[in-house]
Amino acid sequence: MYILAIETSCDETACAIVENGTKEIVSVIASSKELHEATGGIVPEIAARKQMEFMVPVLEQTLDKFSKYFANANYSRDDLISKIDAIAVTVGPGLIGSLLIGIEAAKSLALAWDKPLIPVNHLVGHIYANFIERDFEKNITFPAVALVVSGGHTDLVLIKSHGNFEYLGGTMDDAAGEAYDKTARLLGLAKYLGGAELSKLAATCDNNVAAGVLPRPLLKDPNYDFSFSGLKTAVKRLVESNKYSANVVACEFETSVVDVLVTKTVKAALSSGAKQILLGGGVSANKNLRTRLTTEAKIKGVTTFVPEFDLCTDNAVYIAAAAYFTGQSYLNNKVDFTKVIPNPSLGVMDKLAV
Ligand code: KG4
Ligand code: ZN
């Protein structure tokens, strides 16, 4: 089964075609990130206008690449369209103007081509990036614990079966990615989305002489909640004290975030009997987090799955995977298009408005 998915929740305009939820056939991404770097933060109006500008060219490229995939078959455009079984689209969370463009494009295609439409939660999509198989077959079994760490969210959920989640905990204030971005800005590394830059700087520190200086928020609390806004303030004070070089501050900040994320995620897996952990979201591209989670879970007999680097940040491949594994009910019961609307504040546990 081929699903064509569209993702436009923020500043990426992405389209992908995935076979049976696991095999990436085509992925196209256009981004307006550079424009937001210039303004030091995302301007929603500009992001939405760029989505509109990019949407049709991205769709055209996707269909061209799909045609090349079947190069020997010499398919007509109609033949290609008949190969697509469903259209999936991100309905939230995200910026309303950006989401609208993708949703209306998806509805139009579903209507014109007479295909089922599958609404997808972006956060669930991040988790399903783990199901894409490239070099090896992934044997993901349930129950599994999923940690979603993105720019706007930090959520820990127990997956009992496809689409059947139990909420374990989440951030009470800033998301992990947000803390990374704000700290990167404070250190003058990037004005917008500085997580990767901060992490690169942290990697240049081979002796963390500030070890333990920053707090490990809620580390010892018995629940699975997180809080990163106090950490951000503590980093600010540390920088202002001028006691440590920037790479030491970056290293101590990253160690604090990773300590908390890894400890709570492994604990959640052990107490819920999950034998597998799925990491997802933009921050899952963080090498330190990937390595420590994998190593520390393994010691306890738990296997960790992490998405390939290019599948950590926003793309439409994982939206198609999530649609395949969690949206099969939409194949036979066609959704009422008027109910597929953007939901900017959709949470990981929220039911889609259908
Ligand atoms: O999932 P994502 O692409 O967008 C949202 O859905 O929010 O996540 C973006 C977040 C940003 O906060 C970015 O700084 C962070 O992921 N990020 C990283 C790394 N790469 C991206 N944070 C830490 N280390 C990285 N290597
Ligand atoms: Zn995302």
Separation of CA 281 and ligand 1 centre (Å): 7
Q: Which residues contact 100 (CB under 8 A, 6 or more apart)?
A: 48, 342
- What is the rounded distance in angstroms from the CA atom of residue 31 to the CA atom of residue 341? 22
304 CA distance to ligand 2 middle (Å): 20
Is the C-beta atom of 183 inside 6 A of ligand 1? no
What's the confidence (pLDDT) of residue 95?
97
CB 11 within 8 A of CB 54: no
pLDDT at residue 277, as a whole number: 98
Which of 33, 127, 191, 193 for mutating ligand 1's site (highest number of atoms within 8 Å of CB)? 193
* DSSP code of residue 187: T
> Does residue 286 have its Cβ closer than 6 Å to ligand 1?
yes
Q: How far is the centre of ligand 2, averaged over its atoms, from the C-alpha of 277 (Å)?
A: 18
C-beta 199 within 6 A of ligand 1: yes
Question: b vs e for 92-103, b when ≥16 Cβ sit within 10 Å of the residue's Cβ?
Answer: bbbbebbbbbbb
**Cα distances (angstroms) measured from residue 6 to each of 34, 105, 204, 213, 254:** 21, 8, 38, 44, 33
- Helix (H/G/I), strand (E/B), else coil: 92: strand
Share of the chain above pLDDT 90, in %: 92
- The answer to whether residue 12 scores a pLDDT higher than 90 is yes
Atom of ligand 1 nearest to the CA of 175: 12
Q: Of the candidates 150, 182, 181, 144, which has an alpha carbon nearest to the alpha carbon of residue 163?
A: 144
Q: Which residues of 116-152 are buried (b: 16+ CB within 10 A; e: fewer)?
A: bbbbbbbbbbbbbbbbbeeeeeeeeeebbbbbbbbbb
Range with the poorest average pLDDT among 24-38, 80-94, 99-113: 24-38
- Tell the burial category of 201 from Cβ atoms under 10 Å away from its Cβ (0-12, 13-18, 19+): buried
**Ligand 2 centroid from CA 12, angstroms:** 10
Tens digit of pLDDT for each residue in 167-199? 999 999 999 999 999 999 999 999 888 999 999
The Cβ-side half-sphere exposure at 191, using a 13 Å CA radius, reads 10
Please count the helices (runs of H) and the strands (runs of E) in the chain.
12, 10
For residues 248 and 265, give the distance between their C-alpha atoms in angstroms, rounded to a whole number: 25
**Cα–Cα distance for residue pair 183/246, rounded to 1 Å:** 11
pLDDT of amino acid 135: 85
Model-level pTM?
0.96
> Ligand 1: which of 283, 286, 312, 345 to mutate, most ligand atoms within 8 Å of CB?
283
> pLDDT digits over 225-280, tens only?
999 999 999 999 999 999 999 999 999 999 999 999 999 999 999 999 999 999 99
Q: Please list the residues that pair with 166 across neighbouring strands.
A: 158
For the chain, the straight-line distance linking the first and the last C-alpha, in angstroms and rounded, comes to 23
Is the distance from the beta carbon of residue 280 to the nearest atom of ligand 1 less than 6 Å? Answer: no
Output the CA 124–ligand 1 centroid distance in Å: 16
Q: 121-140: per-residue pLDDT in tens?
A: 999 999 999 999 998 889 99
Tally of CB atoms within 10 A around 162: 18
